[in-house]
Amino acid sequence: MGLALPASVSFERLQAPFESASDALARFDERLRSSPVAEAFVLRAHFHDACAALWCAGEFVQLEDLVLHDAGTDVRTPTHELVRAHAVLLTRRRIADREPGWALTIEGLAGLRGVSRPQGILLEATAAGSGALEDEDAVEDELETVWRSSSGEFDEIDELLARTSRLAERIAPVQRKRDDSGLVYDEDWDEEGRLAEWRERLGDMTNLPPLMTAGAALDAREEIEPLQHSPWLGSLLVADLLRRRGKTLHHLSALQAGFRHAKYRRSRQSDLESRMIAFARAVELMAKADSKELDRLTLARELLLRKCKDRRTNSRLPRFVDLCLESPVVTVPFVAKELRMSQQAATTMIDELSSNLRELTGRRRYRAWAVI
């Protein structure tokens, strides 16, 4: 089907911005491959992109609140926006932990949307798949036996429950409860049909370069609007598309963070060519900002590790340094929980690195710090 873009689009005008953005993204991904703070950067990017996704939807979530909510150390009652941001965070992690392109498969989309597998779609006949039901029955029988004969062996029961849950999730995702009143969601919204249309368009873009494919796929998603219940999932699918096409081999791009800092705001009055160029510039801006953040974390790591010299071999200070790099913010309860120590010991450890940490809140209670 050719390049799957209208004839009115000038590829000469698209070439320069997309090549520049593609080079910037490729250079950053290669830097990330050998960086000592690569894991810390990836973990931080999940938080930043989740907050940016809510910001692009017109809602504000503080980064500090999201970090503490994820760690289970909230200082206030979670808001609806915070819960949504946490859902984005968990979804990003789930996609990043799977093989590239998993989110774009039928099974992946069904799992991410929290719906049952569409009818008419058959599982691949693998050895693991064919024995899944038998494994589930065996686990249930074993679980029932343990319940009848157990005298306080709760650890074994917990393990069996976890195994059963994993098998159930692999065999058939839980059906999401939908709003049927018509007050919140449109009853006539054909999500399956729209999603099939978007996937069909995606299949017509195989001849485009990876980054241009991502831009066209994201623009098509904005036009078709296939996901009524989780519209923020579209940018994550496009980020996974970049991984599948081999453009970002070592990270899941934080596209929403790039859109947040870009000057351009999408409008239906803008033509496709302008929207595509704006996408390329946002990606380039994101890649350059990520590169600067990688430099900052690398320098911060060197400064913090100097504090760890001549320490005992069982000192927890090096682990605390890793925690400061991996988490955008840290608090005393958060450090105490993650490192399994008292809050007094966590406070002492924070004081030892105070010259390289910045206090964010200016309060006496519920204080938070971040690496400089």
pLDDT at 57: 87
Whether the per-residue pLDDT at 238 is higher than 60: the answer is yes
For the segment 96-102, the average pLDDT, to the nearest whole number, is 94
Q: How many CB atoms lie within 10 A of CB 217?
A: 22
What mean pLDDT do residues 257-279 have? 81
Question: For position 144, what pLDDT does the model report?
Answer: 53
Least confident stretch, 160-164, 181-185, 292-296: 181-185
Dist CA 372 CA 301 (whole Å): 10
DSSP string for 315-372:
-SHHHHHHHHHHSS-B-HHHHHHHHT--HHHHHHHHHHTGGGEEE-S--SSS--EEE-
Predicted pLDDT of residue 130:
40
- Residue 182 is predicted with a pLDDT of 45
pLDDT of amino acid 299: 95
For position 126, what pLDDT does the model report? 35
What was the pLDDT predicted at 128? Answer: 39
Mean pLDDT computed over 62-81: 90
102-157: pLDDT as tens digits: 999 988 988 888 765 544 343 333 333 444 444 545 545 554 554 455 455 556 65
Question: How many Å apart are CA 90 and CA 97, to the nearest integer?
Answer: 11
89 close to 233: Cβ distance less than 8 angstroms: no
Q: Say what angle helices 317-326 and 38-56 make with each other, to 10 degrees.
A: 30
pLDDT value of position 127:
37
pLDDT value at position 153?
Answer: 52
Q: Crossing angle, helix 80-97 and helix 63-71, to 10 degrees? A: 70
Do residues 235 and 256 touch, judged by C-beta distance below 8 A? yes
- Average pLDDT, integer, range 191-213: 87
Closest listed residue to residue 360, CA positions, set 63, 40, 34: 63
